[in-house]
Amino acid sequence: MSDPTPLPGPVPSPLPVGEVPTTAPRSIDLPVPGAALAIVAHPDDAEFQCGGTLAKWAAGGCVINHLVLTDGSKGTWDAHVDTEALIEQRRQEQMDAASQLGSRGKVVMLGHVDGELQPTLHVRDQVAYWIRALKPDVILAHDPWKRYRLHPDHRNAGWLALDGLVAARDPHFFPHHDVGVHRPDAVLLFEAEEPDHVEDVSGFVDTKVRALMAHRSQFVTTHAIPDDDDGSAAEAFRQRVLARAAQVGVAAGVPAGEAFKALTEL
């Protein structure tokens, strides 16, 4: 048997996103919520996973909020990096990315150590507090049930979002909070093992790309954009994001989409 023909040129890094729907989704497009909260492990996770959806909702008047659970301190391959400087850079990048999406809400950085996030009661308490304080109609979060996931922060961030939601809706959990209980209308889980909902993000993928480009510290590690890029690698990254959105849109019959597992009975 002959060896397979190699692809021409370097193979770009795959985008860190979830599965593409293989069948028509059960639902397309939630009503634009009044407020939404993306609960994510790291700076840039929201932009990769649901940036088009957040941009679309922001344009429709939704108040977009980010809750980032870790400090992003391991988001580099440089063994000699100034970690404190990287943490501050990633904080500012997340603020800039949220602005690119049109966010009018809060960007909350809990600052737990990147790579060491655990689904403890302490962190659940924090997540539940921000769900109660921000009162989102929709929460967007990592799917904790996805099989073969390598990164522990993504798994644990998913559990924390869902466990925090359960606590936030019941007055007997964390009664020391100075805000009332809150029950969202829906949860959209990204990186889903079995996506069944698509948000049509036609016209908002370039906004998603602009938000992703705010995360300059991640150009080498996740964007595959070298430090000496002449613009071609950045354009190739943009084309990969556009192509992925188009691929997701096929199952839903829309030009561009983002895929989720929708939970609506909360």
Question: What's the rounded Cα separation, in Å, for the pair 184 and 172?
Answer: 17
For the cut 90, the answer to whether the pLDDT of residue 114 exceeds it is yes
Topology of the domain covering 27-263: Rossmann fold (3.40.50)
Q: Rounded distance, CA 87 to CA 57, Å?
A: 28
The lowest-confidence range among 39-43, 164-168, 184-188, 192-196 is: 192-196
d(CA 250, CA 243): 11
Average pLDDT of 161-190?
98
Mean pLDDT of all residues in 149-173: 96
DSSP H helices, the chain, are 45-59, 83-101, 121-134, 152-168, 205-213, 232-252
Read off the pLDDT band of 4 (50, 70, 90).
Answer: very low
Q: What is the predicted pLDDT for the residue at 12? A: 55
The model's pLDDT over 47-100, given as tens digits with 9 standing for 90+, comes to 999 999 999 999 999 999 999 999 999 999 999 999 999 999 999 999 999 999
What pLDDT digit, counting tens, does each position of 176-228 carry? 999 999 999 999 999 998 999 999 999 999 999 999 999 999 999 999 999 99
pLDDT score for 18:
81
Domain ranges across the chain: 27-263
Residue 146 tokens, joined: 């996805």
Kindly indicate the confidence band of residue 144, based on its pLDDT and cuts at 50, 70 and 90. very high
Average pLDDT over residues 101-110: 98
Whole-number Å distance between alpha carbons of 168 and 160: 12
pLDDT confidence bin for 8, thresholds 50/70/90: very low
Nearest residue to 30 via CA among 60, 71, 5: 60
More confident residue, 22 or 119: 119
Strands 257-263 and 186-190 come out as antiparallel
Whole-number Å distance between alpha carbons of 53 and 219: 22
CB 40 within 8 A of CB 55: no
Task: Determine the pLDDT at residue 6.
Answer: 40
Name the nearest CA neighbour of 119 among 187, 69, 72.
Answer: 69
Mean pLDDT over the full length of the chain: 94
Residue 7 has pLDDT above 50, yes or no: no
Q: How far apart are CA 60 and CA 58, in angstroms?
A: 5
Both tokens assigned to 105:
């809400």
With bands split at pLDDT 50, 70 and 90, how would you rate the model's confidence at 2? very low
